[in-house]
Chain A
Amino acid sequence: MLKATHDVTQSSWGGGISPFAVGWNKLMMWLFIITDGLLFAGFLASYGFARLSSSQWPDQLEVFHLWFIALMTFILISSSATMATAVRGAERGHRATVLRFLLLTIVGGLVFLGMQAYEWTTLIREGARLYSNPWGVPQFTGYFFLTTGFHGSHVFTGVLILSITAVRWKKGLSSAEGVELTGLYWHFVDLVWVFIFTLFYLI
C-alpha cells in the first residue's frame, strides 16, 4: 500500500507542492472559468434544445447586420491580443507597456459594449422583445437577449476588473500574476463570444 517515502515526496502529487505547478490563485481562476463556462453551456444547450424542437427559425441574415457583428467580434478578439501583450509585458516587468495595453483592452471592451447596445437598440426599435418579435418565433429573441445579455454583463464585469487591475498596477499594488489572472478571465469572455457568435449569428 505504501511506496517508500522518498518516492512520494519527490512526486509532484506527493504533497507540499502544487501538482500543476501553479499557485492556488491561478488554479482557482481556472476552476472558476470551468464552472462559469458550464453556465454558458447551460444557456447554449437550452437554446439548442429550443431551436431543434422548433419547426421554424428566423433567417439570421434578415435580422442581423452581419458585417456589424463581424466588426464587433473583430474588436473583441483584438482586445484579447492587447490583453496578451499586457500579460507578457507584466511578466517582463515593462510597467508602461502593461498600462498602455490594459487601457487599450478596456477601450476594446467598451467599444464592444457600445456596439452591442446599439445593436440591441436597433432590434428593439424593430419590435423585438423578450417575449415576441416580428420574425415569428418568440423563443428566438428570448434566448438571444438572455444569452447576449448575460455575456454582455460578463464583458462589463471584465472591464471593471481590468480597470481595477490598471489602477492597482499603476500604484504598484498588482503583481504580474494579478494581470495574468485578469487576462485569463478576459480571454474566457472572448472565447464564449466566439461560441455565441457562431451559434446565434452564423448557423
Chain B
Amino acid sequence: MASTVQQEPVTHRKQGFIRRYIFSTDHKIIGIQYFLTGMVMAVIAGFLAMLIRLQLAWPGEKWEFLGALFPAGMEDGIMKPEFYLSLVTMHGTLMVFFVVSFALVSGFGNYLIPLQIGARDMAFPFLNMLSYWVVVPACIIMLVSFLVEGGAAASGWTAYPPLSAVKEAIPGSQWGQTLWLLAMALFIVSFTMGGLNFVTTVLNLRAAGMSMRRLPLMVWTLFIAAVLGLLAFPALTAAAVMLLFDRHFDTSFFLPSGLFFGNKLLPNEGGTPLLWQHLFWFLGHPEVYVLVLPALGAAFDILPCFTRKPIFGYRITIYSLYAIGFLSMIVWGHHMFVSGMNPYVGEFFSIGTMAITVPFAVVGVNLIASLWGGAIRLTSPMLFAVGVIALVGTGGLGGIFLGNPTADIQLHDTYFVVGHFHFMIGGVTLFGIFAGTYYWFPKMFGRLMNEKLGKLHFWLTLLPFYAVFFGQHFQGLGGTPRRYYSFTKFTFLESLQGLNLFISISAFVLGAAQLIFLLNFFWSLIKGAKAGDNPWRATTLEWAVPSPPPHGNWGEKLPVVYRWPYEYSLEGAPEDYTPQTVSPEEGQVTT
C-alpha cells in the first residue's frame, strides 16, 4: 500500500522582508543564500590561494600592504612559515567545505531539486532554513580563527594529528585548530540536515509520473551525493569529537606513546594517528564524489540543451553512479599508501581504486558521446560543461597514477597530488558551478548573463587553469614537495624554478579572470536581458514555471510528468524540444 504525498497548495500570504529573504523557508531563497555565501567564501579562499602563490613565486619578499592586512602572520610584510601553513589549511578547508559544498551541493541542490522533481518545496522547509543558519556561524568561526592567538589552523585541511592534536606543536594548533573543529562540527550538522532533506524530498515528493527513471541527472547526482554525505560524514563527526577530547581532555586517541615536542616528552600513550587518517578519509574520499558528481550532473543537464539531442546512455549512467557511489566508500585507504599499511591491504584499496575508473570512464564516455552528431551551440554554459568533460578526463588520468601504490610512493606529498586533486575537486566542481550558474541564472533571477563576458571568462579560466595545475603535475614528477613554503633552498629543484614562477603568474591570471565572472553576475542581475520562462528551450520541469518561480513553484496544480528529461529533436514533434509535461496526446511518445 502506498500512501499519497500530501502537498497542500501554498497560500500566498504576504510575508515581511525578514521572513521572505533572510529567515526564509523557501527552498529557492535558501539555495540562493547558500550560493551567495559560497561566492563570498570563494573570494576569500581564492585570495588566500593568491597569497600562497605569491609566497611561492617570490619567497621572503617584502609586501608592505599585506603586512598591514595581516600584522601577525606577515610582520613587516614578510610571510612567516606558520602563516603559510595556515593559508594552505584554510584555503583547502574553505574551498572544499564552504565553497564547493555550499554553491554546488547545497546551493543548486536546494534550488533545483524541488523544481526539477515537481515539488512545492523541500520535505522539511524549516529544517532547511536551520541548515543554512547553522553554517553561517560556522563561516564566521572559520574566518575569526585568523584573528586568535597563533592564527588559523595550520595542520592542513586533513588536520592530521599529532600536528592538530598537540597544542604546542605549531602556532595554528592553539585556538585556531579548536575553532576549526567547532566550525567543521557545525558544518557537518548542517550538511546532515540538508542531506536528510535532499534524500527524503527526492524519494517522497516527486510529482505524479516523475519516476526515478525520469529524473534529470542533476537530481540523480545530487541524490547520490546526499546519500554518500549521510553515510560518510558521521565518521568525521566521531573523529572530530575524539580530536577535541585529545586536545582538551588529555586523552590519547590519536597520540602514540613516546611523542616528543620541543624536547618535552608528552604523557600520552597507546593511541595512533593512523586512526584519524582512517576516519578522516572514510569521509574524505566519498566527499570528493559528493562534490564532483553534481558537477557531472550539471554537465549532463546542459549538454542536450545545446546539442539539441538526447544524452547518450541515461540508464547506464545511473548504474555507473551507483557503482561510483558504492566503490567510493571502500577506497579511502588509497590516501594512506605511505602511512604504514600492510601491502595486501594496499592492494585491496588499489584494486578498488582502479575499479572506480571503469564506471567513471563510462560516465565520461557518455558525456562525450552526448556531443556526437549534435547541433552544438557553444554558449557560455555549454563551454563550461565541455570544460567539465576535459577536466574529468585529465584529472582522472592523474588519479590512475596515484591509485597505484608503486607510483604513489614516489608521487605522494608532491605537487603531482596537488595538481591532480585541483583538477577534480577544484576544476570539475568549479567548472560545474560556472556552467550551472550561466545555465540556471535566468531561472534564478529572470535575466540572462552576458554571453561575451561569459566566453571571455571561460577562455581566461580554462587556459590558466591548465597552465597552473597541469604544470603542477610536472613539478610533482620532478619531486617538488607540497606544503613547503619555499623551494629556493633545494638544488634539485633549481631546474623547476622557471616552471614555478610560470605557475604563479598563471594563477594570478586565473584569479583575476574570476573578477570577470563577478562583474558579469552582478551586472546581469541588474542590467541583464529579460530571460522569459524558458530561454534555452529546455525540457526539464524547472523551465515550465515563470522565472523567477513564485513561492510554492506550481500555482494551483502540481505538474504531471509524461516523459524522460532529455526529449530533444523528437520526430514529428512541433518543436525540437518536448518538455516533460507534454502528454502523449499533445506530442509524440517515444517507445
Q: Enumerate chain A interface residues (CB-CB to B < 8 A).
A: 1-2, 4-5, 8-9, 11-24, 27-28, 31-32, 34-36, 38-39, 41-43, 46, 49-50, 53-54, 130-131, 137-139, 142-143, 146, 150
Contacts and interface: CB of A to CB of B under 8 A. Distances in A.
Interface stretch (B101-109, B232-240, B492-500): B232-240
B209 A49 contact: no
11 contacts: A1-B315, A1-B591, A19-B204, A23-B5, A23-B6, A38-B235, A42-B235, A46-B242, A143-B253, A146-B242, A146-B245
Contacts of B192: 32, 35
Interface of B: 1-6, 117-118, 123-124, 192, 195-197, 199-201, 203-212, 214, 230-231, 233-235, 237-239, 241-242, 245, 249-253, 267-272, 275, 278-279, 310, 314-315, 561-564, 583-584, 589-591
Nearest to B6: A23
Contact of B5 (A16, A28, A41, A142): A16
B194 to A, nearest CB: 12
A27 B195 CA distance: 13
**Among the interface residues A20, A21, A41, A42, which one has the most CB atoms of the partner chain B within 10 A?**
A42
Contact of B270 (A9, A22, A54): A54
Given A16-B206, A39-B237, A31 B196 contact: yes
B196 A50 contact: no
Given A16-B207, A28-B124, A138-B269, A131 B251 contact: yes
Contacts of A13: 211-212
B231 A38 contact: yes
A32 B192 CA distance: 8
A137 B269 CA distance: 9
A39 B238 contact: yes
B3 A36 contact: no
Given A1-B314, A31-B230, A142-B252, A8 B211 contact: yes
Contacts of B253: 46, 50, 139, 142-143, 146
A139 B252 contact: yes
Given A39-B237, A46-B279, A24 B314 contact: no
Given A16-B5, A24-B123, A39 B211 contact: no
Given A142-B252, A146-B251, 4 more contacts: A15-B561, A23-B3, A23-B6, A150-B241
B586 to A, nearest CB: 12
Nearest to A14: B211
Which 5 residue pairs are nearest across A and B when measured between Cβ atoms?
A: A42-B238, A16-B208, A15-B210, A38-B234, A15-B206
A129 to B, nearest CB: 8
Contacts of A50: 253, 270-272, 275
Given A1-B590, A22-B3, A131-B251, A14 B204 contact: no
A2 B563 contact: yes
A21 B200 CA distance: 13
Contact of B252 (A43, A49, A131): A131
B207 A15 contact: yes
A29 to B, nearest CB: 9
A197 to B, nearest CB: 19
A16 B242 contact: no
A131 B249 contact: yes
B246 to A, nearest CB: 9
Contacts of B314: 1
Contacts of B207: 15-16
**Among the interface residues B251, B271, B315, which one has the most CB atoms of the partner chain A within 10 A?**
B251
A91 B204 CA distance: 23
A15 B208 contact: yes
A26 B335 CA distance: 37
Contacts of A31: 196, 199-200, 230
Given A46-B242, A49-B278, A131 B206 contact: no
Contacts of A54: 270
Given A42-B234, A138-B269, A146-B241, A2 B564 contact: yes
Contact of B2 (A18, A35, A142): A18
A90 B249 CA distance: 44
A17 B2 contact: yes
B562 A5 contact: yes
Nearest to B278: A49
A126 B49 CA distance: 53
A61 B363 CA distance: 56
A28 B2 contact: no
A139 B3 contact: no
Nearest to A18: B204
Nearest to A43: B238
A55 to B, nearest CB: 10
